[in-house]
Amino acid sequence: MEINSPFTCNNFIDSNQSKDFKLRLLWHGIFLCTLGFIVGFFIPLYANPRAGLATHLLGITEGIFLAVVGLIFPNLKLSLFNARLAFWMLVISAYVGLLGELLGAAFGLTKVFIITAQGLSPGISWMESSVEIAVKGISVFIILACFILLFGLRKTNNTNH
């Protein structure tokens, strides 16, 4: 007896679904790169300019990563559930990470930004804690999404896809 749960990959995403994920990831990737470039214009104005530079680079790097994932999406062998899970974990973590870095730069936060915030006094306590939780939480999301992507890149015996 074969069990079809959303966690198994007996039913792979079809080419139309794959194309949709690809286009959406490419759009978000280019948009994040654009945000990263815009953030770069304001580096001297941030309370923590080094964190501003890190934010600029993070936006560009995350954007490129999402675009690359979009390009490989047609090669993934994933169930619709796993494809959606990976998509949303990547997109949410990219935006939350960029926002967290931007808040750290703008308000001179220090708790998570140990290296870039040397010499700065601690920021607002609730903001420091919120950004720390967000940044550490999205790190887990990105790693889990990468494991799903690696799982989707495995070789299968299914010759139909």
Q: What is the pLDDT along the chain (161 residues), one digit of tens a residue?
A: 444 455 454 588 998 999 999 999 999 999 999 999 999 999 999 988 888 999 999 999 999 999 999 999 999 999 999 999 999 999 999 999 999 889 888 888 776 776 676 667 777 788 888 888 888 888 999 999 999 999 999 877 655 54
Report field, pTM of the whole predicted structure over 0.95: no
CATH level 3 topology of 15-152: Four Helix Bundle (Hemerythrin (Met), subunit A) (1.20.120)
Domain-wise residue ranges, the chain:
15-152
Residues 6+ apart with CB under 8 A from 117: 48, 50, 51, 104, 108, 109, 110
Cα Rg of the chain (Å, integer): 19
Three-class secondary structure of residue 42 per DSSP = coil
- Rounded to the nearest angstrom, the gap between the alpha carbon of residue 6 and the centroid of all alpha carbons in its chain is 23
Q: In Å, how far are 5, 61, 126, 147, 159 from 89, measured between CA atoms?
A: 20, 16, 25, 11, 29
